[in-house]
Structure formats: C-alpha cells, structure tokens
C-alpha cells in the first residue's frame, strides 16, 4: 500500500470542509447559506519545479472551488465558494524558511512577499464582492486580481 502523503491530505481537508459547509450551512439541510473561502495559492495557476505535489494540491483546490461555485450548488444550498490565492506571505514561517529551506537551493528572499495586512484585504474583498466560484490572486506588486477561466475553454461542453 502506498503511504498517504501531505499533498493528498491538503486536498482531502478542503473537500471535507466544503462538504461540511453543505451539511451545516446548506439550505437543503435547514441552514441559511453563507460563504466558504478556500485558501489556495498563486501556485494553483502556475507550475513550480521545487514542490510539484504542493502545486497539484493547489490546482485541485481551485478546481474544487470553481466546481462548487457553479450555479447548481448556489441555487440549491445558498453557499458561495471562493478561493484566496496569494504569493508567499511575509510571516515568521517564511522568514525562518529563508535560512532553513526544505527545498535545497530554493531562495525566496527575492520573492514578491505579501504582508499579512494585504492578505486580510484580499479576504475582505472576497467577502464584499461575493463572486461565486471566484479565485482572487494577491501579490505585493499587483495587489488583488481575480483570475477567471480562459475564454476559449468556457464554451467546451463538459456535462
């Protein structure tokens, strides 16, 4: 049997969290609806050779958020799903990682580090805008920006 790795757990946690939101917040279960904000990463949109399993989990989380963010779920349950997708955030963990990295040769000292305050502004923007299925990228250099599905993919029938 293959051991469960942390990337799989990173995918399983949000899946269970979204299902729990349906159970306790969903209108079909007597709830009043609400909003779920999943914590993804800018790495949910781009490849990164140093941490491919982590990147896969963040790509999966964006897919989960956008899929639960389709009109079917909102109409049935009254729950809005969104994802916050930041770059590295300037925290004590990141500061310690600069000198004690788990990935040999990875230097994040020159990365676009977000402040915790900018992250909080991103959360507030999601709460205020209430765009179902949205993915909000947060970077120091660009601020906050919604990233949608590529136009050429929107009309491909998948259901």
Phi, then psi, of 76 in degrees rounded to 5: -75, -45
Task: Give the DSSP letter string of 88-146.
Answer: -B-SHHHHHHHHS-SSTT---TTS-PBPHHHHHHHHHHHHHH--TTEEEEEETTTEEEE
Compute, in degrees rounded to 10, the torsion defined by CA atoms 11, 99, 47, 42.
70
Catalytic entry in 24, 54, 68, 146: 54
Specify whether 54 is catalytic: yes
* Enzyme catalytic residues: 54
């Amino acid at each position: 049997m293959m051991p469960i790795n942390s990337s799989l757990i990173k995918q399983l946690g949000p899946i269970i969290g979204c299902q729990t939101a349906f159970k306790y917040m969903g209108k079909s279960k007597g709830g009043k609806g609400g909003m779920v904000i999943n914590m993804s990463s800018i790495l949910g949109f781009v490849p990164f050779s140093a941490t491919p399993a982590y990147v896969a989990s963040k790509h999966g989380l964006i897919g989960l958020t956008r899929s639960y963010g389709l009109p079917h779920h909102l109409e049935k349950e009254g729950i809005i799903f969104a994802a916050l997708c930041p770059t590295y955030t300037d925290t004590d963990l990141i500061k310690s990682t600069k000198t004690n990295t788990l990935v040999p040769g990875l230097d994040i000292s020159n990365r676009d580090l977000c402040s915790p305050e900018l992250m909080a502004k991103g959360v507030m923007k999601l709460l205020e805008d209430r765009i179902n299925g949205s993915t909000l990228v947060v970077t120091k250099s660009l601020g906050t920006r919604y990233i949608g599905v590529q136009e050429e993919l929107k009309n491909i029938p998948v259901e």
